[in-house]
Amino acid sequence: MTPSKLLRNVTAMLDRANDPGPVLAAIGDLMVASADRNFEAEGRPAWAPVKAATAKRKTKAGHEKILMWSGALARSITFKVNGNAVAAGTNSPYGRIHNEGGVIDHPGRTGTVRLRTDVRGNLLRQGTEGRASRLAVFAKGSHKRAVERAFTHGAYPIPMPARPFLMFQPGETETYGALVLNYILTGRIGGQP
C-alpha cells in the first residue's frame, strides 16, 4: 500500500470515527427491535405476572400480553442519535413506571354523586341479591328522582413491579461495539470487522 493510499484510508477512518451517525442509526434500529422482542416475549427475563383481577379484566377484553392493552407503549419506543451517542426510549407518560417499577401515590378526593331514588325517596339498587343488592344506581342529569350524596376517597399507593422493556440483552453491547468498529474500519454497516 502506498503512503498516499494509507493516508487516505486513515483519514477516512478518522472521518467515520468523528461522524458515526449512520452506524448509530443502525444500532438505534436494533435497540428498538430488541425492545419489541421484549414486549412480544413478555420480558427477557420474564416479567412479574399481573394480578389476578388484572388478568381477568385483560382476558375479558381480549388482551392477553402484559403491557399490551392497546400496544401504544410498545409503538412509542423510538431512538435518537445525538452526536456520538444513541439512546432508545419512550415519550409515554407511563413508560418509565412500567420499565423501572415504583409506587404511584394516588391522591384522595372528595366529591358528590347523583343516585336514583324511587317515589318514596329510597335508593334504587342494582339487583335484589348478593352484592348487587348493596349497590346503588347512578342517576343521569335527566333523571328527576335522584339524590346527591357526598363521598370521600382516601389516598392510596399503587405498587408497580418493574417490567424492563428498555434493557440490553446479553451480547447486545458487544454486537453494537463490533458494528461501530466495522463501520470505522471499512465504512460498511453490518457484518464483523
Query: What are the pLDDT digits (tens) for 24-79?
Result: 999 999 999 999 999 999 999 999 999 999 889 988 988 889 998 889 999 999 99
Q: Rounded mean pLDDT of 89-112?
A: 95
Query: Is the pLDDT at 82 greater than 70, yes or no?
Result: yes
What DSSP line would sit under 70-103, residue for residue?
SSHHHHT-EEEEETTEEEEE---TTHHHHHH-EE
According to DSSP, the residues that pair with 160 across neighbouring strands are 102
- Select from 68, 58, 62 the least CA-distant residue to 38: 68
How far, in whole angstroms, is CA 20 from its chain's centroid? 29
Residue 63: what pLDDT? 86
Query: What are the pLDDT digits (tens) for 139-192?
Result: 998 999 999 999 999 999 999 999 999 999 999 999 999 999 999 999 999 754
HSE value, Cβ hemisphere, 13 Å, CA-based, for 142: 0
- Gap between the Cα atoms of 18 and 7, Å rounded: 16
* Residue 156, H or E segment: strand 156-160
